[in-house]
Amino acid sequence: MNFKRALLAATILAAPMAASAQPVTGLYIGVGAGANWVNSPSKIDLSGGATPGNFGLAPGVTINGAGKANFNIGWTGVASVGWGFGNGFRAEIEGNYRENEVDSIRGFNLAPMGRTGGFQRTYGVMANILYDFDFANFGLGQSIFQPYVGVGAGYAWTQWRNIRGQSFAPGRGGSVFYSDDDNGQFAYQAIVGVGTPLTWLGVTGLTLTAEYRFFGTLQPDLFATIRNPVNNAIGAAGKVSPDNYNHSVMLGLRYALFQPPPPPPPVATPVAPAPAPARTYLVFFDWDRADLTARAREIIAEAAQNASRVQSTRIEVAGHADRSGSAAYNQRLSQRRADAVAAELVNRGVSRSEISVSAYGESRPLVPTADGVREPQNRRVEIVLR
C-alpha cells in the first residue's frame, strides 16, 4: 500500500512537466495576493497653507522631510481582466488594494512619539502592458515556466486611516499628531513574474503566477493636526505629503478563457520485429526552423538506405509548415525544409535526378488547426519512395 501511495504521489508531481507554457490568446482574468512593504522610512513633507496654525509655516512654504514614518509588513490584493495577443504581449486593466499598519512616526519638531497606530491604505485602477517570454523563440525548447515583465500606469487613492502618535517632552508637555484623510494621485508600477500552467488539473488555460511589483504614487496631500492630548484642542494644522513607494510579492492565478488546448505529445511508433522497409518517412522540424536535428538525419539515412531495398524509381520530398505565420512565409519555409532534406539524401548517396522536391506551405496540414496555432506535427517534410 505504501508503494502504491508513493507511486501516485510521484505521478502527481511529475504531471505538470507534461504541459509547456503557451502564449496567452484572447480574453483572460487574473487574481493575486501577497505581502506588501512600504519603503521605509517614508519621508513626509510639510506644507503651509490657510489652515489654522500651519505647523508654524507661512502660506506656500514647504519643508521637505519634516517627518518620517515606518510601516509594518502588510498585505495586497489585485484583480485584473485582460487580452492576450498570442505573440507574448498582453494588455489588462487591474484593480488593486494595499494596507499597512503604521509602526512609528517621528519628526515635525516634536518629541519622540509613542502609542502610534492607524493604517495606510492605497487602492486604485491601473492599465498594464506585459510581455511573456517564450523560450522556444530563443532556441531553448519548450518549458513549463514562462517569465514575464510589465509596466503600468493609472490612478490611486492613498488613505491615512486614524494615523496617530503621541509625544511627550519634559517641560514642554505633550502633543498628539493625528491624520484621517485621503487623496488621489497618478500611480505607476513595474512587474516581474513567472507563470507555470496547471493543465494537469484538467483546466486548459489555468496558470499559477508568482511575481514582484514595485508600485508608487505621486505624493498625496493629507490633512493633519497637532492636538492637545488633554482637551483635544488643535494647536496646529496643515498638509503632510508622504512618499508612497511599495514593494509587493504575490502568488496568483490567471485563467485564459479561450486558450486553445496544448498539442498532443508525439506518439512513439512501437518497434516491430524485422519490419519491412517503409515507403513513407516523416521528418519533423522545430518551430520556424529549417535545419535538421540529429533525429531528422537518422530518419533521412534510413530512407536513403531503404530506397534501393524497395526498388524505388522516384523519391518524392514534400515540405510543409504549421499555421503560426503568414501563408507566404510558410510557403518559403516549407521549401527550405524540403531542400534541406533533399540535400541530406544526396549526401547519403541518393542521386539528385531520382528526387523530386515540392513545397505546400500550410495548405496540407497533418493535424487541422486554426490560423496562428503552432502544431509540431504540421512542421514536417514527407519522404515517399515510389
Residue 163 is predicted with a pLDDT of: 93
Q: What is the pTM of this model?
A: 0.62
Give residue-wise pLDDT tens across range 237-256: 888 999 999 999 999 999 99
Claim to verify: residue 185 and residue 50 sit in the same structural domain: yes
Would you say residue 49 has pLDDT above 70? no
| 110 within some domain | yes
| 113 within some domain | yes
Would you say residue 33 has pLDDT above 90? yes
Claim to verify: residue 336 and residue 229 sit in the same structural domain: no
The residue range of the domain holding 17 is 13-256
| 80 within some domain | yes
Would you say residue 319 has pLDDT above 60? yes
Number of H helices, E strands in the chain: 3, 16
Q: Which residue has the higher pLDDT, 78 or 345?
A: 78
Rounded mean pLDDT of 59-85?
90
Residue 309 is predicted with a pLDDT of: 76
Dihedrals φ, ψ of 281, to 5°?
Answer: -130, 140
Long-range contacts of 76-79 (CB under 8 A, 24+ apart): 76/33, 76/34, 76/35, 76/36, 76/246, 76/248, 76/250, 77/31, 77/32, 77/33, 78/30, 78/31, 78/32, 78/33, 78/250, 78/252, 79/29, 79/30, 79/31, 79/32
Calculate what percentage of the chain has a pLDDT beyond 90. Answer: 38
Q: Which residue has the higher pLDDT, 367 or 261?
A: 367
| 263 within some domain | no
Extract the C-alpha cell encoding 123: 487602492
Calculate what percentage of the chain has a pLDDT beyond 70. Answer: 85
Would you say residue 216 has pLDDT above 70? yes
Residue 129 sits in a domain of what CATH number?
2.40.160.20
Give me the number of domains the chain comprises.
Answer: 2
Q: Let me know the angle formed at the C-alpha of 77 by 152 and 133, rounded to the nearest 5 degrees.
A: 45
E strand or H helix at 36, and its extent? Answer: strand 25-38
Give residue-wise pLDDT tens across range 138-183: 666 667 889 999 999 999 999 999 999 888 766 556 788 899 999 9
> How many whole angstroms separate alpha carbon 15 and alpha carbon 20?
11
Give residue-wise pLDDT tens across range 369-386: 888 888 888 889 898 887
Would you say residue 126 has pLDDT above 90? yes
The 3-state DSSP class for residue 302 equals helix
Rounded mean pLDDT of 266-276?
66
Claim to verify: residue 21 and residue 110 sit in the same structural domain: yes
Would you say residue 363 has pLDDT above 60? yes
Would you say residue 236 has pLDDT above 60? yes
Would you say residue 204 has pLDDT above 60? yes
Lookup result for grid cell 514593494: 247
The 3-state DSSP class for residue 353 equals helix
The Cβ of residue 310 has, within 10 Å, a number of other Cβ atoms equal to 12
What's the pLDDT band for 10 if we cut at 50, 70, 90?
A: very low
Q: Counting beta carbons within 10 angstroms of the beta carbon of residue 207, is it exposed (0 to 12), middle (13 to 18) or buried (19 or more)?
A: buried
Claim to verify: residue 315 and residue 217 sit in the same structural domain: no
| 273 within some domain | no
Residue 205 is predicted with a pLDDT of: 86
Most confident of the following: 110-114, 120-124, 277-281: 120-124
Residue 301 sits in a domain of what CATH number?
3.30.1330.60
What's the pLDDT band for 19 if we cut at 50, 70, 90?
A: low
Residue 9 is predicted with a pLDDT of: 45
Residue 276 is predicted with a pLDDT of: 54
Whether 200 contacts 18, CB under 8 Å: yes
| 3 within some domain | no
Would you say residue 8 has pLDDT above 60? no
Rounded mean pLDDT of 6-16?
42
Most confident of the following: 100-104, 139-143, 231-235: 100-104
Measured in residues, the chain has a length of: 386
Claim to verify: residue 50 and residue 144 sit in the same structural domain: yes
> How many whole angstroms separate alpha carbon 44 and alpha carbon 46?
7
Task: Say which amino acid occupies 271.
Answer: V
Residue 102 is predicted with a pLDDT of: 94
What mean pLDDT is reported for the chain?
85
